[in-house]
Structure 1
Amino acid sequence: MTDLPILYSFRRCPYAMRARMAVAVSGAQVELREVVLRDKPPEMIAVSPKGTVPVLVVGDGHVVDESLDIMRWALAQNDPENWLAHADAGMIAANDGPFKQALDRYKYPHRYGLADGVKHRDAALKHLSGLNAILAAQPYLGGSAPAFTDTALFPFVRQFAATDPLWFDALPLPALQAWLNGLLASDLFGQIMTRYPKWTAGDEVTVFP
């Protein structure tokens, strides 16, 4: 047993990725519990019935089950790279709203009764073109260094790019592509993408980071 906060996570979930990145950069250690989405642990459902990751349970039993709030919690403990000073609410809302909706329909068209996702791919591309214009003028969305906004958006841009990598790489979005590739190659991303076995009650504690 441990007194550390508990973080339920799933390695490939973009929401969980951004939460883990903020936890890792803050250095605020947690007990990581890797979840398999088709077989969610009852301990997680008991504290967060909506059943989505990430979920953070802090020492007093308080539950934080929105990824942006987990990012803010971690950075409130320690923000060594000043991420919180570069959190663009409008850009994040556009990502989590219209862009995410278009991304889902592009990546999984048959879930939505669509023959293909081309219309939604093109809608998402307009958002990415706007990001490319920002990144053509500065290396990161938050300015000269990666920060909160970059981390909040990056896992979803990664998911879009991975849907059809050859097509994405051929797009005339050099600033966005360089930004994405730089974050993919970062030590921070490598650190948070370590593979962990599925957690079940009684397992040895995994401390993260």
Structure 2
Amino acid sequence: MRARLAILLSQQSVRLRPIVMKNKPEEMLAASPKGTVPVLVFENNKENLKLSYNNQSIIDESLDIMLWALNSNDPHDLLYSQHESALPEMLKIIEENDKKFKPNLELYKHAKRFHEDTQEQYRLACEPFVQTLELRLSRHEFLMGDTLSLLDYALLPFVRQFSKVNRQLYLQGPYTHLQRWLNSHLQSRLYAQAMFKHPLWLDNHEESLFGG
């Protein structure tokens, strides 16, 4: 989701090939053998090579796609370009999300799905990170300040997942500011565009134009 959000926000255009992970196309695995999504493939021509990321022919990490998109065009200044320390700070928090919070979130989701008695253990493991976001949002409207940033959109998918694992507990929890922040995103036109379900590519091998 966060790669799609960044493409929309940066006004880039890509040709979309939606898939289901249980049926991975050979073309995808040939481009990125690790077999995860998203995968952004650059066309081999002079114009598109100028838009490539670190001279790579593909990008297969969602954060790197976000950085490619916003470094290409950042009309909303989501990178906080006038603040030298902002991007390193954002990347540090995103790294904590990806390497600590996300694994605990996956365990929390798994425990809930299979009714395991470790559910509360993993929820509590998620709490410190969620509370740091709540604290930041108690100080200003968005995670980095009074305007939106890369950080808001990079964390959005995972906060959304956390809120859905135990919905009642989340709504009753001490997340007043986080709930406001998440609801504003989920009710936005941008979110609806990013979440729109396009036809699966393997059904008819027709691409969908996305962004722009």
TM-score calculated relative to the size of structure 1:
0.87
What percentage of residue pairs aligned between the two structures are identical?
41
CA apart distance, 1:110: 8.2
1:30 equivalent in alignment to 2:30: no
Aligned match of 1:74: 69
- Within 5 Å, which residues of 2 pair with 1:90-129? 90-109=92-111, 115-129=117-131
CA apart distance, 1:20: 0.3
- Within 5 Å, which residues of 2 pair with 1:1-209? 17-60=1-44, 62-85=57-80, 86-87=86-87, 88-109=90-111, 115-200=117-202, 203-209=205-211
> Distance between the aligned counterparts of 1:119 and 1:97, measured in 2?
18
> Distance between the aligned counterparts of 2:204 and 2:128, measured in 1?
48
> Distance between the aligned counterparts of 1:202 and 1:165, measured in 2?
37
Aligned match of 1:6: none
Q: Which runs of 4+ in 1 moved over 6 A?
A: none
> Distance between the aligned counterparts of 1:166 and 1:184, measured in 2?
18
Contact 2:2 2:62 in 1 (8 A): yes
Aligned match of 1:12: none
> Distance between the aligned counterparts of 2:95 and 2:12, measured in 1?
26
Letter in 2 for 1:190: A
Larger mean CA deviation between 52-61 and 21-30 belongs to 52-61
Letter in 1 for 2:6: A
Letter in 2 for 1:169: L
Larger mean CA deviation between 57-66 and 175-184 belongs to 57-66
CA apart distance, 1:202: 5.7
> Distance between the aligned counterparts of 1:59 and 1:148, measured in 2?
26
Larger mean CA deviation between 93-102 and 77-86 belongs to 77-86
Letter in 2 for 1:34: P
> Distance between the aligned counterparts of 2:157 and 2:76, measured in 1?
19
> Distance between the aligned counterparts of 2:29 and 2:203, measured in 1?
13
Give structure 1 stretches of 5+ with no counterpart.
1-16
> Distance between the aligned counterparts of 1:178 and 1:202, measured in 2?
40
Structure 1 residues 201 and 164 mapped into 2: Cα distance closer, same or farther (>3 Å)?
Answer: closer
Aligned match of 2:53: none
Structure 1 residues 67 and 20 mapped into 2: Cα distance closer, same or farther (>3 Å)?
Answer: same
> Distance between the aligned counterparts of 2:164 and 2:108, measured in 1?
12
CA apart distance, 1:76: 1.8
> Distance between the aligned counterparts of 2:198 and 2:118, measured in 1?
34
TM-score calculated relative to the size of structure 2:
0.85
Give structure 2 stretches of 5+ with no counterpart.
45-55, 81-85
> Distance between the aligned counterparts of 2:176 and 2:136, measured in 1?
12
* CA root-mean-square deviation: 2.0
Structure 1 residues 32 and 180 mapped into 2: Cα distance closer, same or farther (>3 Å)?
Answer: same
Residue aligned with 2:100, SS? helix
Structure 1 residues 167 and 201 mapped into 2: Cα distance closer, same or farther (>3 Å)?
Answer: closer
> Distance between the aligned counterparts of 1:99 and 1:187, measured in 2?
27
